[in-house]
Amino acid sequence: MASDFDALCIDSARLMDRLMSLAEVSPIAGGGNCRLALTDADRDGRDLVVSWMRDLNMDISIDAVGNIIACWNVGSGAPVMTGSHIDTVRTGGKFDGNYGVLAGLEVVETCQRNGYIPSRPLAVGIFTDEEGARFAPDMLGSLVYVGGMTTEEALDITAIDGPRLGDELVRIGYAGSAPCPGPVPHSFVELHIEQGPLLEANNVRIGAVTGVQGISWQEVTVVGQSNHAGTTPMSLRHDPTYVAAEIAVFLRQLSARFGDHQVCTVGKMDVFPNLINVVAARVTLTLDVRNTDENLLQQAEHEIAEFLEKIAIAEGVTITTKKLARFEPVVFDPRVIDIIESIAKQQSNTVERMPSGAGHDAQMLARVCPSAMIFVPSVNGISHNPAEHTDTEDLVAGANILLHTMLTLCATDLGRSR
Ligand code: GLV
Ligand code: MN
Ligand code: MN
């Protein structure tokens, strides 16, 4: 049996076929996808992946925020779970999230076809709205799954284009009845593309992910005095566009002062009325601020708040803020990281330990069960971009590590009676 176990490996053609078929749902120019959470496109992606879950005779449950959990109910005890998301940003790639979900199905199918029965159930989750691009916060589905936000609060969140999350769930047919928080797994491991440049730069194939950096999202609204662009002297302006630009520059300078682990992004800016010859009335911009160190993240938030106060007075504008997301840095379970690292090595991969720059569902599952992640390289470190790419051999290597990590976890006592 031991040698059968060692020889188990995923079917690379089947994994790539599923990845490419899902990439045909709402493709965009440049080879990526637009499946913003709970849009028709997201529904079409869900329908396709659920059909594959049914083909594998998995038990499928859909909860009140639309998380889909498919379980292959073999063995006994709580399942070893994997999963990720299939929603994308507006200009998403083919692999972000999708890879983790479809590799999970590949793990199940590999066991089934080889007659290998794990000692615990295996579960694969598709978590709602991981991206947070349409409904903030990010990782919303997994946050609710672990009890970090109530269902009622989640259902009431409004999209950047207006509708309520609960109404969109009903509209696309994914408002389920399974309760939240959901059942606690034995353990959770998520496979994902790195989405950054480090593995490629270091010529390393596998990242054993040690944790996820902290994240702070807020929306800032600057209201000034709208006026004529030709007649209003510069000295008399209260121009929200100028203030928004100053805020972006301040964030860039703050990142430089705080060092490598500080990243800041102004990714969305809405100007009203957005016309060439009108000093704007109002600008709304988003701030995405992240650091691996919670103290530094708090310090950054503090300095940003001070700057907003100062510039509002100096420019005679009104500034209001709305918190969109706030998650502290997360440290993954060292036992799960060790298993990932040693399996990656056994399978003749180069491996290094690294934190994640991006947010992931695993950081939420880590609140309730031992969790960690596996990364594979992103070509040129590009993600949240249709050009996102990972070489097939890296995708396959990662999926094989996921397979053996999940099966090893099935047989590992992690110290609690699940
Ligand atoms: C989720 O993809 C994030 O923004 O990190
Ligand atoms: Mn992702
Ligand atoms: Mn993403």
Residue 184: CATH number of its domain: 3.40.630.10
Residues β-bridged to residue 285: 220, 269
Residues 344-354 pLDDT 10s: 999 999 999 99
Name the pLDDT band for 416 (thresholds 50, 70, 90).
low
- Rg of the Cα atoms in the chain: 23
Domain termination site, one of 273, 298, 327: 327
Rounded to two decimals, what is the model's pTM?
0.97
- Cβ(196) – ligand 1 distance below 6 Å: no
* pLDDT exceeds 80 at position 28: yes
Full DSSP string of 286-314? EEEEEES-HHHHHHHHHHHHHHHHHHHHH
Sequence-distant (6+) residues with CB within 8 A of 99 are 19, 84, 191, 192, 193, 390, 395, 398
**Closest ligand 1 atom, residue 357 Cα:** 5
- Given a cut of 80, whether residue 418 has pLDDT beyond it is no
- Residues 319-331 have pLDDT tens digits of 999 999 999 999 9
Do 87 and 155 share a domain, yes or no?
A: yes
In this structure, are strands 351-356 and 187-193 parallel, antiparallel, or unpaired? Answer: unpaired
Closest ligand, as measured to the CA of 359: 1
The answer on 340 and 192 residing in a single domain is yes
- Ligand 1 atom showing the smallest separation from residue 215 Cα: 5
In a domain, 417, yes or no: no
Whether residue 174 sits in one domain with residue 255: no
- Name the percent of the chain lying above pLDDT 70: 99
**Atom 2 (ligand 1) nearest CA:** 131
Whether residues 70 and 114 share a domain: the answer is yes
63 lines ligand 1 (CB under 6 A): no
Regarding whether 34 and 111 lie in a shared domain, the answer is: yes
Question: What distance in angstroms lies between residue 395's CA and the mean position of ligand 3's atoms?
Answer: 17
Q: For position 230, which CATH number holds?
A: 3.30.70.360
4 band by pLDDT with thresholds 50, 70 and 90 = confident
Range of the domain at 282: 214-327
Which of 327, 361, 383 is a domain's end point? 327
Q: Considering every ligand atom, which ligand is closest to the CA of 132? A: 1
Is 418 within the bounds of a domain?
Answer: no
Distance from the CA of 100 to the center of ligand 2, in angstroms?
Answer: 9
Q: What is the mean pLDDT of residues 134-146?
A: 98
Ligand 3 mean position, distance from CA 144 (Å): 18
| Token couple for 187 | 């353990």
Is residue 34 situated within a structural domain?
yes
Q: Which of 360, 364, 383 to mutate to test the pocket of ligand 1 (most atoms within 8 A of CB)?
A: 360
- How far is residue 346 CA from its own chain's centroid? 28
Look at residues 292, 327, 362 and tell me which one is the last residue of a structural domain: 327
pLDDT over 70 (residue 3): no
- Are residues 282 and 322 located together in one domain of the fold? yes
